[in-house]
Amino acid sequence: MKVRHVSLLIALAACSAPSFALNGKLVPNQGILTSVGQDVDSVNDYASAMGVTPAGVTNYVGIVSLDGLNSDADAGAGRNNVVALANQYPTSALIVGVSMNGQIAAVANGTYNANIDTLLNTLGQLDRPVYLRWAYEVDGPWNGHNPEDLKRSFRYVHQRILDLGHADAISLIWQVASYCPTPGGQLSQWWPGADVVDWVGLSYFAPQDCNWDRVNEAAQWARTHNKPVFINESTPQRYQTSDLTYSADPAKGTNRVNKSQQQIWNEWFAPYFQFMTDNQDIVKGFTYINADWDSQWRWAAPYNEGYWGDSRVQVQPQIKANWQNELAKTKYINHSEQLFAQLGYDASGDPTDPPTNPPTNPPVTPPNPTPCDEEFSYRYISDNTIEVFHKDKGWSANWNYVCLSDYCLPGVRENGEFTKQFSATLGQEYGITFKVEDNQGQQIIDKTITFENKSCAAN
């Protein structure tokens, strides 16, 4: 093992290697799940115009009366009917946003527990991967949430997913608004805990208004907590793909300027996909809202809820072609017969059913792992997942990186150590490295290991 002390002036090398294992459910090992929304008719129009079945489809339901769950509901933002949408796209993943309808305190206090059970049982019986955006845009001031009730409701829903037997089918998303006027540094007060969150979601509308600070903050929060990112709401806000215009006025859409198709692509779409590339270690899904916002009365003139525009990619040939060319890249997960398997879902039937021929012998309970007595080493998680760790020696650690074969990611600092999980192959030799800021310098520790089945616990 080598320990090096290096000046802060030395930049960390750019790395590329196998992806690390994110902590969440229904997370693809490779690639980014593509999905569209956000109302039934807009999804249908997209599928028809593009000649595709979407890999994922998005819809909404309100918790107070379950409007939009299995009957049509339209609050001026397009038609919602989750069950009808699911039936129309039986081989697509389902992404469902659940509104608290301004009643987060009542929800947390149990007033709508029966509705929660109905919702979860309905979704869990659709035989597909379901991504549940509970109380979506948790920190959006327009939702009227308060942190404590929000967190209580999250923990309750997580437990009910387990109790009702839907843990294999429903993945829980904690989605932040990534809203530029909101000051940074406030996510911690809304965080219900890594044990009840499968994904970190974010909204991507006009991130350029704050130099991408809010979406980058959400991405870094996910990375720090070893969670995958789902871009749950995204649309080129204030652009009109139909009229080829843009307005810098988010309130009323005044002073619109003409844009070419390629200008719109370069200004919004190119940075959007670049954001995914820049965060390819954690971004595992996105939903694009492909809608004529101006045709829906909630978003139409006089724009009482802000100016949104028209985001349909199919209405301009160059934008449509650019979109199709982008999604044809191998890094995107589009619809296929292997879709559910790629997302880690067993579509052979109810994923919670016991096996037809259960083993006759009871499983053997493995012994409790002994504490790790090495400062810098690894733990066996599974035959294809390794956890690299270094004991916390009290460094200032304003930043740290844990690396496997020169693939470096920020480590999670907790329980007296820094850790990060990676994909790995049992029996293979790897170089592991730990880099940490120490006051005005840094330390770099190197080691070569062979990945074997050995278990140990933190001291």
Residues belonging to the active site: 137, 233
Residue of 136, 138, 234 lying closest to 186 (CA atoms): 138
Residue 28 tokens read as 């693809």
H/E element, 449: strand 441-450
Alpha-carbon gap, residue 221 to 223, rounded angstroms: 5
74 C-beta neighbours (distance < 10 Å), count: 17
- At 130 the three-state DSSP class reads strand
Residue 455 tokens read as 């278990």
Alpha-carbon gap, residue 314 to 334, rounded angstroms: 17
Residue of 310, 262, 209, 228 lying closest to 25 (CA atoms): 228
Residue 159 tokens read as 């437990």
Residue 45 tokens read as 């129009």
- Partners of 33 in the beta sheet? 285, 333
CB burial readout 93-121, b (16+ within 10 A) else e: bbbbbbbbbebbbbbbeeebeebbeebbe
Residue of 219, 286, 166 lying closest to 22 (CA atoms): 219
- Residue 48 sits at φ, ψ, to 5 deg, of -70, -45
Q: Tell me how far CA of residue 456 lies from CA of 160, 370, 387, 418, in angstroms.
A: 31, 5, 11, 15
Write down how long the chain is.
459
